Structure 1
Amino acid sequence: MVLAHDDDKKPQHAVTVTPLSQSDGSLPHIDDGEAAAPGSGGSSSGDGGDGCEYYPDGGAVAWRQVVAGHFINAMTGGYGAAFGVYQLYYTESLHLPSAQISWIGSVQIFLNNIMCTVAGRLSDMGYARETVLVGSTIALLGTFMTSLATEYWQIFLAQGVCTGIGLGLMYMPTVTILASYFKERRALALAISSAGTGTGSIIFPAVVQYLIPRIGFPWAVRCAGFVALFIIALANLFMKPRLVAAKKKAGSLVDWSAFREPPYVIFVTGAFLLYWALYFGYFYINAYAISFASFTPTSAVSLLLITNAVGIPARPLVGWVADAYLGPLNTFVLTIVSLAATFLAWIAIATPPTMYAFAVLFGFTNAAATSAFAAALAGPKSGLSKDPAKMGTRFGMCCTILGFATVSGPPTAGVIIDYCGGRYVWAQVWAGLVTFAGAATVAVARCWVSGAKVKVKI
């Protein structure tokens, strides 16, 4: 169909929309551009002038993209969560300091975030599927090469560098694709997609942990690689970018105009503070349980699995609340506050039962905060990514900046712990205060967009 306008009101950039499938809810693709210019036309789903003419907000094809995003997040988020198992094996087999081994996982996470700027820009240029396919290939190559590695430098290049680059290329396109299909249900769609992090965080650690004693490390890693191959194949099969545009020429990798917009800059600063402290919990929950709550190294692994499992239902729940009641930005602020309180509550944990309770609480609050982050940055009313044609670029820029937070946060906590003679209390205080500061900073960005109004769904 053609979006019709009166002749005397026809916008300068007319958009022709062709239905892909009537049975799939007439999901359109745009023939002469990715989206109309902001404010150039109406929207059949109540477009707020953010530049996209029509949002299906449902249908078979749209929800299939959510499933594809869930699978990709299982790789990009879940595969990295398995590094705690690798850390234990490498420390025992290579007889190297834990700090040196941890650089493999830290570099993987760092490159995962850094590559988001490249992947986001490629997605905005119309290469979303190609970017995911290339990233999938690189990530699988790194995984299978890890199974063949026997020395530190080989493992570092395969698992740290190669896999990190591949995972970074895979993640970003899913956000831009989902944002083009959903508006009113965007937070829920992104939350269900990001719940894949919890799914992968259970599957990959369990596969490696329980197969190493039975078939050895190389084949355990290969089995994880075959699982990853199955997941990635389904994701690439299901993925269908909605805005099929003529491939745009390469432009600036960074949208520098975003740094002249105070709400975006303030929001990114708040998110940086959140992610600076976030991985302290992931990296140290097992070590703390062994040192202060009478856990064995084997039983401590269960804490990480519990933390990741709780995040699976938490993310869709938070997305539904954001869409139906609070709005993504408001939800993001509240979830950061809850995570900050959890970090401070960690100070009182000293027994196995309370340690398990903390694992559940931390799993819920950190999953809620990270899920709300994506919805807040991509929210149609937040004003942080107004132009859909620049959604991937801006989101990727933010993730790249967060990469420096994730790579420096755990070492910062480690320095504090070492300075305090192995006690965690001041590191826990640091994490709580930094996270509270992140919540306050994001609240400033929220007020900048909506004004000092409390009862505003944004």
Structure 2
Amino acid sequence: MCRAKPNVLLEFYQYLLSFGALGGISASLLYNPSVSAVGHWFYRKCALATGVACAAGGIGGVVFPLIVLYVAPRLGFGWALRIVGFPRFATTAFAAFLIEFAVFIPYTYLCSYAVRAGLDRQTAYLLHALLNVGAVPGRALPGYIADRFGSFNTMSVTAFACVVTILAHWYTASSTNAAQVISSALLFSFWSGAAISLIPVCIGRVCKTEDYGKRSGTAFSLASFGASAGIPIAGAIIEVNHGSYHGLIVFAGVLYLAALAAFIVARRFLPELFLQAPEPLAV
């Protein structure tokens, strides 16, 4: 029996339509308004602003080909494109995973760090209460700010503040500066509080209202693995470093830095969130 030859012309025709015509039109519709919008807001520094905006395209040029390169041989080309096509929820869930991975490390180890740094045990154990003192306004105020400036924007700012608090403030604390250790606890508890109150809001912004329950459950199910792994991994880092906490602090700071990057990437796929939250509709 002779087999019919595959219709090579038809296959090429499909690629030409999808990646050539449709892909070119879609890319133009995305690129031209984005670059033009920069020119509306900048005059004296327009060239620099446009260059910075266009540089972000290089990030996608690195990430998306790598996804296709490594995913396509395992899951197929179709699933590789689907993964590229729905990064909004996936990136938000990954950001929540990183936040949950990092947030409990300072809560767990800051007191023992204070004892090792030279604080008396009563003051060191008092840090548990101080960590929750800062969390009270830290969970309430970001919600008010997020309603005005966007939940992803607020989460990005608080994640950046946690990076600075951990790597610049906590890392440089020493046994001769008890005030810096205590202030590190207060600052971290305040800035990390947004993770509790705003992550559910961020998840709600990347899904339909009727899908919120299952999307929220999925995201926090994934985040629970990070919360479970963060504390023992941090303990192992202390053991490997012979009791030194510097490696743990860097580990927590890098996790928050990665979470910041994930929130920025997720925000990149939701351009409307840069705008101020709309006024509620009149009933």
CA distance in structure 2 between the aligned counterparts of 1:306 and 1:403, rounded to whole angstroms = 25
Report the 3-state secondary structure (helix = DSSP H, G, I; strand = E; otherwise coil) of the residue aligned with 1:377: helix
Larger Rg: 2
CA distance in structure 1 between the aligned counterparts of 2:195 and 2:164, rounded to whole angstroms = 12
CA distance in structure 1 between the aligned counterparts of 2:276 and 2:218, rounded to whole angstroms = 26
1:316 aligns with 2:140: yes
Taking only the aligned residue pairs, the percentage that are identical comes to: 27
Q: Tell me the matched-pair count.
A: 193
The residue number in structure 2 matching 1:171 is: none
Structure 2 matches for 1:306-385, cutoff 5 A?
306-324=130-148, 326-344=149-167, 345-350=169-174, 351-378=177-204, 382=205, 384-385=206-207
CA distance in structure 2 between the aligned counterparts of 1:406 and 1:259, rounded to whole angstroms = 27
1:305 aligns with 2:129: yes
Structure 2 matches for 1:172-211, cutoff 5 A?
none
Q: Kindly state the Cα deviation for residue 449 of structure 1 after the two structures are TM-superposed.
A: 1.9
Q: Which has the higher contact order (CA 8 A, sep 6+)?
A: 2
In 1, are the aligned partners of 2:96 and 2:220 still within 8 Å (CA)?
no
CA distance in structure 1 between the aligned counterparts of 2:83 and 2:203, rounded to whole angstroms = 12
CA distance in structure 1 between the aligned counterparts of 2:260 and 2:248, rounded to whole angstroms = 18
CA distance in structure 1 between the aligned counterparts of 2:173 and 2:261, rounded to whole angstroms = 26
Report the 3-state secondary structure (helix = DSSP H, G, I; strand = E; otherwise coil) of the residue aligned with 1:348: coil
CA distance in structure 2 between the aligned counterparts of 1:277 and 1:401, rounded to whole angstroms = 14
Q: Kindly state the Cα deviation for residue 259 of structure 1 after the two structures are TM-superposed.
A: 10
> 5+ residue gaps in structure 2?
1-81, 278-283
**Structure 1 residues 95-129: Cα deviation after superposition (integer angstroms, max 9, x where no partner):** xxxxxxxxxxxxxxxxxxxxxxxxxxxxxxxxxxx
Report the 3-state secondary structure (helix = DSSP H, G, I; strand = E; otherwise coil) of the residue aligned with 2:269: helix
Q: Kindly state the Cα deviation for residue 258 of structure 1 after the two structures are TM-superposed.
A: 10
Q: Kindly state the Cα deviation for residue 260 of structure 1 after the two structures are TM-superposed.
A: 6.9
Give the counterpart letter for 1:447 in structure 2.
R
Q: Kindly state the Cα deviation for residue 279 of structure 1 after the two structures are TM-superposed.
A: 0.8
Q: Kindly state the Cα deviation for residue 419 of structure 1 after the two structures are TM-superposed.
A: 0.7
Q: Kindly state the Cα deviation for residue 301 of structure 1 after the two structures are TM-superposed.
A: 2.3
In 2, are the aligned partners of 1:273 and 1:405 still within 8 Å (CA)?
yes
The residue number in structure 2 matching 1:414 is: 235
CA distance in structure 2 between the aligned counterparts of 1:363 and 1:303, rounded to whole angstroms = 10
Structure 2 matches for 1:366-445, cutoff 5 A?
366-378=192-204, 382=205, 384-386=206-208, 388-445=209-266
**Structure 1 residues 291-320: Cα deviation after superposition (integer angstroms, max 9, x where no partner):** 113221x33221111110111122221111
Structure 2 matches for 1:176-325, cutoff 5 A?
261-296=86-121, 298-324=122-148
RMSD over aligned Cα atoms: 2.2
Give the counterpart letter for 1:306 in structure 2.
L
In 1, are the aligned partners of 2:158 and 2:194 still within 8 Å (CA)?
yes
Report the 3-state secondary structure (helix = DSSP H, G, I; strand = E; otherwise coil) of the residue aligned with 1:431: helix
In 2, are the aligned partners of 1:335 and 1:372 still within 8 Å (CA)?
no
Structure 2 matches for 1:110-129, cutoff 5 A?
none
In 2, are the aligned partners of 1:259 and 1:265 still within 8 Å (CA)?
no
Residues 259/303 of structure 1: CA separation in 2 closer, same or farther (3 Å cut): farther
In 1, are the aligned partners of 2:135 and 2:189 still within 8 Å (CA)?
yes
In 1, are the aligned partners of 2:105 and 2:230 still within 8 Å (CA)?
yes
CA distance in structure 2 between the aligned counterparts of 1:275 and 1:430, rounded to whole angstroms = 13
Q: Kindly state the Cα deviation for residue 457 of structure 1 after the two structures are TM-superposed.
A: 3.7
Q: Kindly state the Cα deviation for residue 371 of structure 1 after the two structures are TM-superposed.
A: 2.0
> 5+ residue gaps in structure 1?
1-256
Structure 2 matches for 1:21-40, cutoff 5 A?
none
